[in-house]
Structure 1
Amino acid sequence: MTTFKAESTRSTEDKLALADIVEIVTGGDMPMRFTAYDGSAVGPEDSRFGLHLATPRGASYIATAPGDLGMARAYIAGDLQAKGVHPGNPYPLLAALGDLHFERPPARVLAQIVKSLGTELLKPVSPPPQEHLPRWRRIAEGLRHSKSRDAEVIHHHYDVSNEFYEYVLGPSMTYTCAVFESEGQSLEDAQENKYRLVFEKLGLEPGDRLLDIGCGWGGMVRYAARRGVKALGVTLSKEQAEWAQKAIAEEGLSDLAEVRHSDYRDVPEGGFDAISSIGLTEHIGVANYPAYFRFLLDKLRAGGLLLNHCITRPTNRGRVKAGGFIDRYVFPDGELTGSGRIISEAQNVGFEVLHEENLREHYALTLKGWCEYLEKHWEACVEEVGEGTARLWGLYMAGSRLGFERNVVQLHQVLAVKLDDTQRPQVPLRPWWQP
């Protein structure tokens, strides 16, 4: 381990400079240059990347919420500045931080840090306006995963601005993992390939009926309708539904396609030939999986197929709730578990699981493409939603890319069938879709 002595402007033994504190809590293993508004610095001077703590408010954010939440607050507010990277794509800096970890100092040193920071820096300050309420304060929106509360947290994340999403997601307006034939394939082609894969796995034919829950801007709905399938999509985002209905009309697909602003639990129709759930399961809560899969089973005809596509954890043990940054800024109330839990819950209500695959590396490539779009359209995005929100999205997507690359999270597609009375799945003996 290489230790870089902090270049502190504070010479007294009792008071530590900000860079001294960073050196202590990182164990002297700061892999890049850190500078602070008090003039102190630590880390290699020739580092390609750096962090600059520009304001006392930023120090308060970090001191009062140690870990990813405090650093995210400071970064989104502009108080913690990244050097050597574009704010729309801080991935290289996050990757360079590598395995940086924070150590809890001994009690005597911790007391010295507290004394050095002073009471003013240790007073909590209001978080950036992009932050959602903590879990315990969301009860005013309803119980966790009630219809009213789910609608509010989806509104928080998705009703940012359709124009902003057009800049970040590209022409496909698809906010879920793409499927790449190669690392060099374009994001648009990979998103089209994802819809093709889902369509083929579900064995859809002209005249079939598809229910797409959590349909976003209707990409799957329109893909299916173009091929003669009668498709109904539902989303809790009003802005998504309005955008999707307009796109459906512009393509002349209104006779076959519809996107409703609705909770999937309020869909009255049944007897669907297939259901696609692409990126919804993360939002419903692990405890609600039995009711979720039972509802989907009831909506299918005998022999109907379900394709469940969602982010998962690499194991089925441990916590399911998201960390502080993701919960407050990205997916409030979001929960993740392993693919084994997904499969077990589907089986427990009566589905027969036919196939599953992990698309973890594909999501890393998808996020890479979104960060590149954000960087390319940075000025327009800032004008549309403000610099703080644009910074938030760059941080979130770059960090998520790293998470998929390092196997912190995964993405699984699970294909299942509702058996008929004969217990025969009514599908070919071997996979019938093109990989």
Structure 2
Amino acid sequence: MTTFKSGTTFRDSPTRPDPRSPLSSPKMTLAEIVEAISGGSLDIRVTAYDGSSTGPVDAEFGLDLLTPRGTTYLVTAPGDLGLARAYIAGDLTLRGAHPGDPYEALRTLSDDVEFERPSALTLAHIARSLGLEHFKPIAPPPQEALPRWRRIAEGLRHSRSRDADAIHHHYDVSNTFYEYVLGPSMTYTCACFPDREASLETAQENKYRLVFEKLNLQAGDRLLDIGCGWGGMVRYAARRGVHALGVTLSQEQAEWAQRAIVADGLGEFAEVRHSDYRDVAEGDFDAVSSIGLTEHIGVSNYPGYFASIRDKLRVGGLLLNHCITRPDNRENKRAGSFIDRYVFPDGELTGSGTIITKLQDIGGMEVLHEENLREHYAMTLRDWNRNLVDNWDAAVTEVGESTARLWGLYMAGCRIGFDRNIVQLHQVLATKLDDKGLANVPLRPWWRP
């Protein structure tokens, strides 16, 4: 008999001429295929539409493959992209997990399953068991962006038109939906928790306080906030007498932010424009904040990006760059296939060392401080998932169940990445020097932690 490493056993018939041939073995069930590629016993329960199952019956979490379409997604895009397609389309569910927050199920799944490449004989047997129809690619869920090689019609990578399309893909989902997920602050960047028991709103307010103090802003100063989102930093600064200009490539964000500025009575101090940061004509700002933009501009564009910021600052002005980073500075910058297709098309991440180096190399800027807020982002994502669960029915009504499922999956998966130090979040503070290389800043950090 033929025994696979997973423990799945197929008995050979004495009438078959070659019991080792996949053509002479019974077809494998879907559960047996999962066992064969998972490399051992499972701690989760797996069930499939063909009636087969594997794993402990009393497992807390499980995977339920509901349709043949789901099998096609898994076969034609092995890895996270195929799993995401099947899950978003509703062909695969995570039993025991709310779709608004599948964090615990995903963590258990990632701890438990390590897919191994089976032998050629086993692969042939799997292919025969599945049937050729599952190897023919089918249309992905409508939320998926085109693959990188097909986005050339939108312009070269990180051209203005293609960047605008990428921002539209992610940020123009629905302002109402973002209100459900982000809460009253409407802040879609990492919070800074003063303690582990603090609320999300307290932590987001504390993040703006930290940025404001690091930039040493005073009433009457001028702030440029690049990639300003729904204007949280702009309004925080304006409430303290700072003249703040925010720019975003998302028209829906700009319209929402302008309404909030009017509603808060901040029109004298605050403005948010639907604009590329490269089109800001004003200069001589006392400070520039860039909170969650660097991920979108491309590492090769860092020199031009930082030079543009330098040129908009007055001598002695300060820059605070806040962005997701990698824990190293190796060459692999592009996001994985799931993130690239469903979350941040063309997004790129690199280590804080690369960011600091590129900032230093443009000349005229001195890096003063850097800080890693990795754990804070895991906690932020936890609270966003919680908000999605609390507002699930309304969120589904607003954007549809598949989009809501996508967001639950994406945020929970990212939380695991921050938990496990796969990604980090760094703030880098720098100042513009005068022509003699002097900086007009205090000798020691002047902000509260």
Q: TM-score range by the shorter chain?
A: over 0.9
Does residue 301 of structure 1 match 2:314? yes
Alpha-carbon distance in 2 for matches of 1:13, 1:379? 48
Give the secondary structure class of the aligned counterpart of 1:98. helix
Q: Is the 8 A contact 1:6 1:40 kept in 2?
A: no
Q: CA RMSD in A?
A: 1.4
Equivalent positions of 1:338-357 (< 5 A) are 338-350=351-363, 351-357=365-371
Alpha-carbon distance in 2 for matches of 1:98, 1:71? 12
Equivalent positions of 1:314-325 (< 5 A) are 314-325=327-338
Residues 290-348 of structure 1: CA distance to partner in whole angstroms, max 9, x if unpaired? 11111111110100000000000000013100001000000000000000000000000
Question: Paired residue for 2:20?
Answer: none
Does residue 82 of structure 1 match 2:94? yes
Give the secondary structure class of the aligned counterpart of 2:431. strand
Question: Paired residue for 2:17?
Answer: none
Question: Paired residue for 1:32?
Answer: 44
Equivalent positions of 1:265-344 (< 5 A) are 265-344=278-357
Question: Paired residue for 2:417?
Answer: 403
Equivalent positions of 1:81-160 (< 5 A) are 81-99=93-111, 100-160=113-173
Q: Is the 8 A contact 1:213 1:280 kept in 2?
A: yes
Task: Give the 3 Å change call, closer, same or farther, for CA 6–160 of structure 1 in structure 2.
Answer: farther
Residues 409-429 of structure 1: CA distance to partner in whole angstroms, max 9, x if unpaired? 000000000001232221111
Does residue 66 of structure 1 match 2:90? no
Once the 2 structures are TM-superposed, how far is the Cα of residue 7 of structure 1 from its aligned partner?
A: 11
Equivalent positions of 1:182-261 (< 5 A) are 182-261=195-274
Question: Paired residue for 1:362?
Answer: 376
- Equivalent AA in structure 2 for residue 265 of structure 1: R
Alpha-carbon distance in 1 for matches of 2:192, 2:263? 26
Stretch deviating more after TM superposition (317-326 or 383-392): 317-326
Once the 2 structures are TM-superposed, how far is the Cα of residue 5 of structure 1 from its aligned partner?
A: 5.3
Q: Is the 8 A contact 1:286 1:336 kept in 2?
A: yes
- Equivalent AA in structure 2 for residue 280 of structure 1: L
Once the 2 structures are TM-superposed, how far is the Cα of residue 4 of structure 1 from its aligned partner?
A: 6.9
Alpha-carbon distance in 2 for matches of 1:212, 1:268? 14
Once the 2 structures are TM-superposed, how far is the Cα of residue 108 of structure 1 from its aligned partner?
A: 1.2
Give the secondary structure class of the aligned counterpart of 1:337. coil
Residues 171-225 of structure 1: CA distance to partner in whole angstroms, max 9, x if unpaired? 0000000000111100000000000000000000001000000000000000000
Once the 2 structures are TM-superposed, how far is the Cα of residue 13 of structure 1 from its aligned partner?
A: 2.8
Alpha-carbon distance in 2 for matches of 1:326, 1:211? 29
- Equivalent AA in structure 2 for residue 61 of structure 1: Y
Task: Give the 3 Å change call, closer, same or farther, for CA 93–6 of structure 1 in structure 2.
Answer: farther
Once the 2 structures are TM-superposed, how far is the Cα of residue 123 of structure 1 from its aligned partner?
A: 1.1
Once the 2 structures are TM-superposed, how far is the Cα of residue 55 of structure 1 from its aligned partner?
A: 0.2
Alpha-carbon distance in 2 for matches of 1:141, 1:423? 42
Listed as ranges, the gaps of 5+ residues in structure 1 are: none
Q: Is the 8 A contact 2:224 2:287 kept in 1?
A: yes
Which of 57, 66, 74 lines up with 1:54 in the alignment?
A: 66
Does residue 21 of structure 1 match 2:36? no
Q: Is the 8 A contact 1:88 1:395 kept in 2?
A: yes
Question: Paired residue for 2:18?
Answer: none
Listed as ranges, the gaps of 5+ residues in structure 2 are: 14-23
Give the secondary structure class of the aligned counterpart of 1:111. helix
Does residue 419 of structure 1 match 2:419? no
Q: Is the 8 A contact 1:308 1:413 kept in 2?
A: yes
**Aligned residue pairs: how many?**
431
Alpha-carbon distance in 2 for matches of 1:35, 1:4? 16
- Equivalent AA in structure 1 for residue 32 of structure 2: D
Once the 2 structures are TM-superposed, how far is the Cα of residue 103 of structure 1 from its aligned partner?
A: 1.0
Task: Give the 3 Å change call, closer, same or farther, for CA 84–6 of structure 1 in structure 2.
Answer: farther
Alpha-carbon distance in 1 for matches of 2:171, 2:64? 31
Does residue 431 of structure 1 match 2:431? no
Does residue 44 of structure 1 match 2:56? yes
Once the 2 structures are TM-superposed, how far is the Cα of residue 14 of structure 1 from its aligned partner?
A: 3.2
- Equivalent AA in structure 2 for residue 145 of structure 1: H
Alpha-carbon distance in 2 for matches of 1:13, 1:43? 23
Q: TM-score, normalised by structure 2?
A: 0.94
- Equivalent AA in structure 2 for residue 230 of structure 1: H
Structure showing greater radius of gyration is 2
Residues 36-92 of structure 1: CA distance to partner in whole angstroms, max 9, x if unpaired? 001111111110000100000000000000000000000000000110010000001
- Equivalent AA in structure 2 for residue 207 of structure 1: G
Alpha-carbon distance in 2 for matches of 1:404, 1:277? 21
Q: Is the 8 A contact 1:364 1:404 kept in 2?
A: yes
Give the secondary structure class of the aligned counterpart of 1:309. strand
Q: Is the 8 A contact 1:316 1:340 kept in 2?
A: yes
Q: Is the 8 A contact 1:7 1:19 kept in 2?
A: no
Once the 2 structures are TM-superposed, how far is the Cα of residue 6 of structure 1 from its aligned partner?
A: 6.1
Q: Is the 8 A contact 2:180 2:395 kept in 1?
A: yes
Q: Is the 8 A contact 1:214 1:279 kept in 2?
A: yes
Alpha-carbon distance in 2 for matches of 1:380, 1:394? 14
Residues 363-390 of structure 1: CA distance to partner in whole angstroms, max 9, x if unpaired? 0000000000000000000000000000
Does residue 388 of structure 1 match 2:402? yes
